[in-house]
Structure formats: structure tokens, C-alpha cells
Structure 1
């Protein structure tokens, strides 16, 4: 019956009568009720008690579930087998309700299978926040019928294996008549306390009171058969206690052992697996099982506590903004405090399980802090790189050798990074990235400095060669190229010596050094060749200037007066011969000290009326020869008028 008007979820058999755990059914149920969305905001309620004591009826009225109820015509036959689960309707937070197979069943006793009753009872007690113990009013004082024997077994297991969690035990007294609830409560409380006091306890809990493990509550209900309306009113009143049950002071207010909703299924499966594999409820085996559950609960609690830690939140916020001095030590301190708290609470559980869960907790914590850790590493790496660049540039500008400055700065700032990021976690990737960034910067500066050095010497060479080469070509004579070669050799050797000394500070390998020096030599030669080609492009103008100068001036550089005494023919030949010499000097680049007779060839071929073809072909390439002929024809044409004018001016 649904008291809220909300449609309840259909019940699902969690564990069948043969002890099989319905994994698929539980997964489907969890999806249907959207349990994974609840995080920690959910409650598990279970009910245990004698068979046919109205457990399913009570749950259906109390939570609006649809558990199968007893057929009154069949009297006390078993209706619930194993454990069934449903979601309470219209109750917040999400409340999972488990209906357990009744105890004292004749069917189980015939099958000699009372162990199964203990198994499902232990399972329910281990996973539930609230356990309803359903009993007939007239059975109070009877050990078996009142479930006191079962309660003793469960208390013993809980005492041996659990740390305090404060599960709520709510004794529901059915068919209450004239006896006062206060009296019934005192009888039950005394019986429960006596069971607790007589239990053998481990050293850790010799003096632990019952109240550290359980909240014991009582409620009495009228007969559903004879006082149905009163029963429903009392159930409606009881139902209100399950609203906000996880709030402080609520029925399930102690949440220290709660399992995340997303892990409820795996936790329940693991617990039942261990219980089922040890049918005699062998305590050491249960010790392992419960240790798994409780250590995981403690670990979850510590993890949750860590996420709320104010110091951690401050570190997490600061990590987004920049590096944090002493980050490793600060974070390690908070983590150690969290893990120590886990160890303190889990100390009495089985060692291997405790250690395993501690390791899992540590891994979860490290995953949690990893983004902040990586952020701090990134900021620290960037800041360290900036400081390195600044100090490295300062060292280079101070005249320190490149290789020495690089080595010292790299060593200092990598050590500084290691010191700042000192922690128990792996910083190798961040360190490797920083080193790669530093190496890339060093390589970039190295290339820039070498380029700067090369350009500086190239500029010196250009200045040392361009003007003098141009001047030598202006004078163009038989010694011109010899003088240019000597100039080139002297300046190149000077540059090579200077740059070799400068390269000593760069720690270059021999091959790279030789390549740079060869480049400088090539550049110097290129300057001369370029200058020669440039001047060769102006050869016609130069030839005309030389011709004009020699034609119009005598040996003493005095202007000529064109009288009959002047031998214009001889003067013309002399001026043209000088122009031929200029042409021969600029006709080819002679930096390899090769002997040639270009001047003789040109003189014989261009000045004489019968050129010597053999000499020409031997000493000059055909393209050069053709170019020279073309230039000479143009030269003669453009200077012929000068000669004609002189002849006409003779008096």
C-alpha cells in the first residue's frame, strides 16, 4: 500500500532462497531508482523477525512497497524467501527497504538450514543503517521467538569484526495490548544489555558500551487484524521518523560507515560472496569480509573529510594561480594526517585488508590532488624557466663563455626546481619538460649568438674587402688580381682567427666549427666575387673613362693640344690598349691564382687586324670571348667620335 500516492518501484529479489545473489536484478533496480545519483544521500532499512510475523505487511504500509504478504488462509507458511528489496515511496532521502526471510521457519529447520537465516541477518546488519526487529508482544522473554539467540550471534560477530558505527536497532513490538510500552521497553533493553555484557570482547572494546555500536529504539503497534485503523495511524506516525533520516539526530544520523551509492552494488556483492562461501559463519573469514567493508567505509569517510579540509581547499585554490612555496611539504602533511586517521580507525581490522584499502585510499587521494599538483608543477616550471632565461642572458651579457654560462645556469635552476617541488610523487615528467624547454631556449640562444657572431665577422669582412677591392679594380693592371688575392687571404685569416677564438666559448664540435669557418671563407670570397661582378657590369663605362683620360692627357697629365705634332693614331692605340687591359682584368675572376693570357689574347685579337684564333680559344671561354667582342665593338663605336673630333681639331 502506497501511503504517499506516489507509484513505488517494484520489489526485486536480491538473494533467493538458495542463496544466489541477483546481480542483474540489483543493477536494474539501481538504474530504475537512480541510486547512483544519490552519492551519500540514501538510507538502507531492513527487517528481520520470525516468519509470518507480518514483516512484509508492516513494510508495505510503512514505506509504500509491494512485498508479497502472507495468505491468511495458509496460516504461517513462508511467503518471503531470501531477501527482497524495494524503494520506499515518497520518502526523502532515497530509502532502500530490504524484506528478509523470517526466522524460526519450520521449512528451514526441516532442512537443517538455520545457517542461512544467520547469513542473511548478518548481511542485512552489515549493509543497513536501520534494522527493524519485528517481534510479537507475547514473545518478549522467549529467547528463540524473540530473536534473542540470533541477536546474540550477530552481536558477537559485530563485536569481533566491526568498529563502532551506530547502526539503529528499532524493535517493533507487534500486537501490543494492555502492557505499557515503558515496561516492555525496559524488559527488552535489559535483555539486549545483558547479551552485550556477557559477550566476550576483544581488548580494543573491553569497555566499549553498547551505545557506541547501536542506537536501540522501541515502538509498539496495535494488531493489524483486530485494530486495523489504529495500526495504520501508528504506522503513519512511525513513517514520519524515516523522513530526513540521515540528518543529525535522525534514525540513520550516524553516517560514518556509509558506502557511496555508486559502490553499493559491488560492496553488497562482495559481502554476500564471503558470507556464502563460509556457511558456518567462521569468524576469521568474516573478519576478512567485514574488514573489506568497514575499511572501505572508513577510507570513504576519510576521503570525504579530506575534500572538505580547509587547508587542502586553500592549497587547491592557490595552485590554480601560481606556484606554492613548500607545496610538497604542505600537501604531504595534510595527506599524512588523513592516512594516519585511517590507520587509527582501521587498526583492529585484518592487516592485509587494511593495507590494501589504505593503498586504495592513497591512490584516490593522489588522483584528487593530482590536478593541483600538476598545476603547481606547471607554474613552477614556467617560473623557473623565466628565471633561467633572465640569469642566462645576464651571464652572457657579462661576457661569460656561452658553454660555461649554460652549464652553470642549467645545473642551478634544475636543482632549484627539484628543491621547490620536493614531494613523494613523481615529478619526472614536469622535470623533463622543464629541461626540454631550457635546452630549447639554450639551443635557440646558441643559434642566435652564433648567427650574431657570424654576421658581425661578415660585416667586418665586407667593410675590409669591398672598398679596397673596388679601388684595386679601378687601377686595373697586371698586378690587380694578385693584390686582391693577398687582400682576401689576409682579411680571411684575420676573420678566421678572431671567430675561432670566439667559438671556443661555445663548446662546438670540430665538424660544426669547421663548417662555420668554411662559411666565413666562402662569404669573404663571395664579397670579392660580387664586387668584381658589379664592377664588370660597369666595364664599358670604365673603359671609356680610361680611354678619355689617356686620350686627352699626356704622360704628365697635362691636357693635350691637337697640333700637327700630335700622333693621334699612336695616342688612340695607347688609350685603347689601356682599355683592353681594364677589360682583361674584369673579364674573369682570378681568385685561384691561375695563370692566363686573357690580356694577350684580347690585345692580339681586338687591336690587331688579324686575331689569333688559337690563343683565343685556349685562354677564354667562348661566351666570355663573344661578350668581350661585343663590348669592344660598342666601345670602339662610342669612342670613334672622340678620335674624329681630335683629327678635325688639328691645326
Structure 2
């Protein structure tokens, strides 16, 4: 599968709706209220439905083995995003004649077909060539269920329920006449539609609800090259909006929001599962038909009024709060109040029409739209709470006396407490990703702060060592200077010089800083006249004796 998202089981084999989030896939939560394009495949077990979707959309639905006797590979309904666009969802539906369910599986298969008919823009009816014209074949039974659901919904709101129905005929011969095949299938479809229409007393036409196409595919293994070529052409019609035969048209969209798909489809499935689907549909009178038209008008009107009221109240909540960077106090409780009041107003206005299918369908649609709107506001609130918690963390860690672990705990607890208060009870909204992002940011800030403190401590230690070295150098220089200028404080020095008479010898004696020095030097003859032949003793008086005495203080 081209997408990183896994295959999602929507309905399990027990008939339970599985997803719990408002959106089916994480990417859908980011896409907001953009409408999904849903392409579903129906058909018999082992007819190659899963492999067909894999070839068309690059999905990776599990496929059956080639064993002649196999159990159902697809159980329930599975979904996957298409390779070319996350807004396109492919639905793989359990085979209609599964041997695992036996004869009791008809009701479940009919519900699945009804579910698909209510949400799919394009329905691929996968059937074998040898089943064409056999009204007891499983593909025709599915077609009857699809038509019944479409008539029920389309008769009340025809503009919103047109669908592209593509007969994908498998294992065709090379010399098949496609025009003959198309004519035969169209005649069969009209006959089945008229039968369903007569049971509901509806006057809507097949063309108003369905745009029918026929695609013939040769055998997947015996004519592999031609099969791949046929799949490529069909894939282009399903994925390339520039193709002249593009099938996924805006006119076929059921306008299911990407971030609210889970909410809408859950209510739809629960409604289908709680309604008997395998009982004969009795003929309705013209009075009942008129009643349905009135119900459609009343329910649509009540829907619009309730939605407008809820939108105004939600808009008032954001003014002066989120719009100005302030959180909405008690948002969860306030959102629940808006939702409950809107549904209560709708229920009160449509109380007379609770037996009509459109009443429950429009109620689900109302709940889904309000939920989507509130969830968008909720996410803005969560982002603001995350920013506030991060600011709190930074403020606390700015103090050197506060441990970063304590700041982390208080900020995380603050976010978690306020996030829980912002959740609408029963909504299924989650803040796991936002909390993880907050924790990662705080952890990164703590790591950077510890790294900075380590650098600062190291720099301070280096500075202290440098100061000690400078002080030591200064002390040594002072000692040298003291020696050079008379010794250290408290030391005394004395010196004396003497020349014996009638000699050239000059002797000097000195005592300095505890050391005694004696120096003997020879005086040249030409210098003897300076002191006389007798030296100090005859030529120099006692007052001029060469003595020195120095005490350093």
C-alpha cells in the first residue's frame, strides 16, 4: 500500500462497529471537514474483490489462497486509503455467499450492502461472467439490497444520493460483445429496481439514483497481461479527474467529512443493525408515500434550525476566548450542552416522524456535523493549553532552585487536567499526540538546560584555575622584585672590601639573605694609583673604608 496507514476494520465478523475515533485514519483528522470519496466493492466470496481493489488503488487487502476450498478472507468490512489520495477510501466487503455464515448470513450481508449504498460514491459490483442473467446469483441479491437502500434514502433526498454503479464482469472471453453485455445487465438492473420500487411505492427512477457502467475483465491468471491492462484503464477512471470517463464525480459525493467519518458511519451502522433487514417489504399506500415526503420536509427543516442554533452558540464560545488567545473554561461541558440541546430540539421538532428513516438519518448527520465543528474548536483549545503548559514549564525552570523533573510533572499534570475538562463526554476525542508533543518539547528544553549548565560550570572552573595561576605568578614576581630591590622584608645585608698593601689583590665579602659570598679580584697596576700603593690602610682614611650595610624592611 502506498499509504503509511494500516488497513482498518470497520465492521468485524460479529457485526460490531470497530473504530472509536471520529476519523477513520490519522491523516483524515488533519484534513478536517473535506469530503471523502468512497469506493466500495461488493460480490461473491472468492470472486477477487480484494485483489481488484489492490490493483486499482495500490492497497494491500489480504487475498484468498488458490485452494479450491477456502474460508472467507475478508470478514465484515475493511477500509484503506488509496495510494493516490488520502481522501479516497476503498471499502472491501465480505463475500455475499460466505460458507462461514451459511444460510443465516443473508441478513448481515444485506446490512453491509445497505451500509455501502448509503456512503459510497462508487459501487463496484464484482461478478463472474457466467452469473450474468442468473437472478439467483449472489451478485443480484446484493443488487436488490443496494437498490432498496438507495430508494429509501433517495426518495426523501434525491439530490444527495446518486451513485455510480459499475458492473465489473470477471473472466470474460476475448470475443465478448461489450454492448450486448451492457444491454443485458442494464435490463436486469431495471427489472430488479422495479421490483424494489414496487415494494416501496416509490416513483423515483433508476436513472435518478444510479449512473450505470459495465467493465469487462479477462481471467486474472490465464490472461494476466490483458487483465492488468483492463485494471489500469478502470483505475484511471477512478483516480484521474482529467479522464473523460471519470467516475468519482462531485455529484456522487455523500459529503461525509474526513474528520467526522467515524461518528457518521457508527450511527449509520447501528441504525441498520437495529432494523430488521430480511423481512418482506409490504406495499405502502399513497398515503404513506405522502407521509414520507412530509417527513422529509419536516426533518430537513428541523435539521437546519438545530444546526444554525448550534453554530451560533459555538461561535459565541470562541469570541473573546480562543480568538484572543484565551482558553474556554469548561469547554467539554459547554460543548455537550450545545450538542444535547441541538439534538433535543431536533427530536422535539421531528417527534411525529420517528418511524421514518429520514428522521434518524438526518439526526445522525446533525450529530456528525456538530461533532466535527466542536472537534475543530477542541483542537484549537488543546493547542493553546499545550502552549500554556510549556510556558509554565519554562517559567518554573527559570529558577535555579526548582528541579526540572518537578517542573515537568507540574506542567504535564496541568495540561492533562485542563485537556480532560475540555473533552466533550462521550465524544471519543483524544489528546495523546498533543501530550506526547508537549512532553518531547519539555524533555528537549531540560536537556538543553542541563547542557548549558554543564558548560557554565566548566567555564567557571577554568576561570578559577586561571585566577589561581595568575595569583601564583603575581606572588613569584613580587618575590623576585623584592629580591632585586633589597631582599625580602625583614632580611639584612652587609658587605666589605679590602686590598692588602702593596698588592694588586682586592678582596670583597658580602652577606645577603642568609648567604655569604667572598670575591677575590686582581686590580691592574695602572689602577693602583687611585688608592695608593698601600691600599685602604695608608691612602684611605677609616671614614672612607669600603663598607656597606643594608637591611630590607
TM-score between both structures, scaled by the size of structure 2: 0.50
Alignment TM-score, normalising by the size of structure 1:
0.43
Name the structure where helix makes up a greater proportion of residues: 1
**As a proportion of its length, which structure holds more strand?**
2
Larger RCO (CA under 8 A, 6+ residues apart): 2
